[in-house]
Structure 1
Amino acid sequence: MPARLDWSRDGGDWPNRSASRFVRAGGLTWHVQTAGDGDDVLLLHGTGASTHSWRGLFVALSRDHRVIAPDLPGHAFTDPLPYGRTTLPGMAEAVGALLKKLGARPRIIVGHSAGAAIAIRMALDGHAAPDAIVSLNGALFPISNSFARPFFVGAAKLLALNPLTPWLFALRARDPVAVRRLLDGTGSEIDPLDEEIYGRLATTTSHVSGALGMMAGWDLHALEDDLSKLETPLLLVVGEADAMVPPGRAAGVARLAKNARVVCLQGLGHLAHEEAPGKIHALIGEFAPKTAAPEQKAAAHG
């Protein structure tokens, strides 16, 4: 049961391995994948995932764009942030530092689950200025039960601060049945290779610690309050079978954001981008041209 993933040991069969490199930015060493030419597109995975979750979509997008997909801090092969910086603004700032190092200015940011919250926070805080944000089953609202929320947040903080918790969780995850149960909770059916990598991540104590630390530092109330300030066009893609983020919450986000619309994909779950990367690629292609600045549209037709 490894304390941390090692690229020479664990990266041999990593999806899109040829696109991987390690970059020092914002005090962290990041694992980041880049490929393609054209406008920059940034992909931000959700809590507990990694670059592997973009396997199919990364390839499709790289045919027409320069695609940038990092492991978020504390996840997979990227260094963790100090505990006090694992907040949503802290994560947004850290990713912004990586973009600056790469000289990247993403025109589109695609975020899955918690990655969508980071994308929106980056736009609100000036760490990026995308023409469009695509939220895939975005975890954008806090727990709605006001009684349960303090318990959940407090429990997450206690778990993250206990050094034994990641070890115990990783030990439990060595049982394939436990990993299968976690994935069943997403409402998605994914490729066996992706399932195996989730199992590998779940049995790595540093990755588990990074996911718990991210949950413990998360407070989505400020994001909810700020959604009305978001000027960037926002596409909210929801999987009808998502068992983790209730699909109906996207309508609430759309009521708050000025320029948002919702698309529901029938039969897909929380990991819709892994189940059907072609459908997500098509949605991004349909949405992004409509968000281009007037001068970009003129150039495209000129």
Structure 2
Amino acid sequence: MTEIVGRYVEVRGRQAYYEACGEGPAIVAIHTAGREGRQWHGVMQALAGRYRVIVPDLPGHGKSWPLTGNACLQDAHDIAQWLRDFAACAVGDRFIITGCSLGGNLSLLLAAVAPEVRGVVSLQGCDHTPTFTETALDLMTHPQVSLMHGNMDFSMSLVGFGSTPEGRAFSEWGVLSIIPVAQQGDLRAYGRCDIRSLMDKVKVPVLLAHGSEDWLASREMVEATQSRLVNAPLLRMMPLPRLGHFPHLEDPGRVANMMLTFFDEAGL
């Protein structure tokens, strides 16, 4: 098993934690809202023979320090710029970008605005996700709300029936270890995300993958995104039967094989 190595790098004067595994062309992977990079471990190991996979914890997530004032980012464009700054420090070269849910949206956004991106794998990613009300978001940091308890049924309903037991267990652990400020910031960025006008700026190969049992980022939303990626030189849509909102965690081997097939087709 290839070793996964964790390091810190300074981004905008704050310590950001990331893990890396493997050798070869760089892939930067983005975790889902309110979580951290360990959810990519299975995919990292599966890709390590051909790629170097680099997974940061966003500010205030996992082992990364929060921003000044114990704050987290709350806007998709701001998170995308932070990721560009991180990649300039930790990657230093062109890279493939991948992510899931909010990370999938950010992957598409980065492909539209960052010339250093050479390909995209977007899991459960869409260009418009108006999914959370401001009232629900405000309650996430209310002193009388236990987000850990309140979020459990919601989050676990997004896990597909085809998930491995390990994937299901770590999805549950993600809920048990929620940092409310981080979850609120990410879901505020997710719920307000509207990058439809930028999709014609994406001019690199794109793979959109969708777990069939995800009711939050629906297939219709992904297909609408696909229709706007008119300038991608290669565009593939891959359904993932029996998987849900977290396919990279639910079945990392299946997701890694899908990615390798796409990379071979795209010459990445």
TM-score range for the pair, normalised by the shorter chain length: 0.7 to 0.9
Q: Structure 1 length normalisation: TM-score?
A: 0.76
Q: Secondary structure of 1:97's partner?
A: helix
Matched letter for residue 282 of structure 1: N
Q: Structure 2 length normalisation: TM-score?
A: 0.85
The structural deviation recorded for 1:27 is 2.9
Pick from 137, 143, 148 the counterpart of residue 164 of structure 1: 143
Tell me what 2:109 maps to. Answer: 121
1:38-84 CA-partner distances (Å, limit 9, x unpaired): 10011111112221211211101111111101112222222234658
List aligned pairs for 1:213-292, cutoff 5 A: 213-218=185-190, 219-221=192-194, 223-258=195-230, 259=232, 260-292=235-267
Percent of paired sites with the same residue: 21
Alignment of 1:68 onto 2:43? no
State the superposition RMSD in angstroms. 2.7
Give structure 1 stretches of 5+ with no counterpart. Answer: 1-15, 144-148, 294-302
Q: Secondary structure of 1:261's partner?
A: strand
Alpha-carbon spacing, 1:123–1:26, altered in 2? closer, same or farther (3 Å): farther
Cα distance in 2, alignment partners of residues 17 and 188 from structure 1:
30
Q: Does the 8 Å contact 1:134/1:236 carry over to 2? A: yes
Tell me what 1:10 maps to. Answer: none
Give structure 2 stretches of 5+ with no counterpart. Answer: none
Q: Secondary structure of 1:96's partner?
A: helix
Cα distance in 1, alignment partners of residues 125 and 180 from structure 2:
21
Alpha-carbon spacing, 1:246–1:100, altered in 2? closer, same or farther (3 Å): same
The structural deviation recorded for 1:250 is 1.7
Q: Secondary structure of 2:38's partner?
A: helix
Cα distance in 1, alignment partners of residues 158 and 188 from structure 2:
21
Larger radius of gyration: 1
Alpha-carbon spacing, 1:195–1:186, altered in 2? closer, same or farther (3 Å): closer
Q: Secondary structure of 2:121's partner?
A: strand
Matched letter for residue 59 of structure 1: Q
Cα distance in 1, alignment partners of residues 103 and 164 from structure 2:
21
Alpha-carbon spacing, 1:93–1:181, altered in 2? closer, same or farther (3 Å): closer
State the number of aligned residues: 261
Cα distance in 1, alignment partners of residues 87 and 265 from structure 2:
24
Pick from 80, 90, 94 the counterpart of residue 66 of structure 2: 80
1:79-115 CA-partner distances (Å, limit 9, x unpaired): 2346584211110111111111114334321111110
Which structure dedicates a bigger proportion of its chain to helix?
Answer: 1
Q: Does the 8 Å contact 1:157/1:217 carry over to 2? A: no
Alpha-carbon spacing, 1:201–1:254, altered in 2? closer, same or farther (3 Å): closer
Tell me what 1:98 maps to. Answer: 86
Cα distance in 1, alignment partners of residues 168 and 65 from structure 2:
23
Cα distance in 1, alignment partners of residues 161 and 124 from structure 2:
12
The structural deviation recorded for 1:245 is 1.3
Alpha-carbon spacing, 1:202–1:17, altered in 2? closer, same or farther (3 Å): farther
Q: Does the 8 Å contact 1:32/1:71 carry over to 2? A: yes
Q: Does the 8 Å contact 1:188/1:270 carry over to 2? A: no
Q: Does the 8 Å contact 1:116/1:140 carry over to 2? A: no
Alignment of 1:131 onto 2:118? yes
Alpha-carbon spacing, 1:114–1:217, altered in 2? closer, same or farther (3 Å): closer
Pick from 154, 158, 161 the counterpart of residue 185 of structure 1: 158
Tell me what 1:27 maps to. Answer: 13
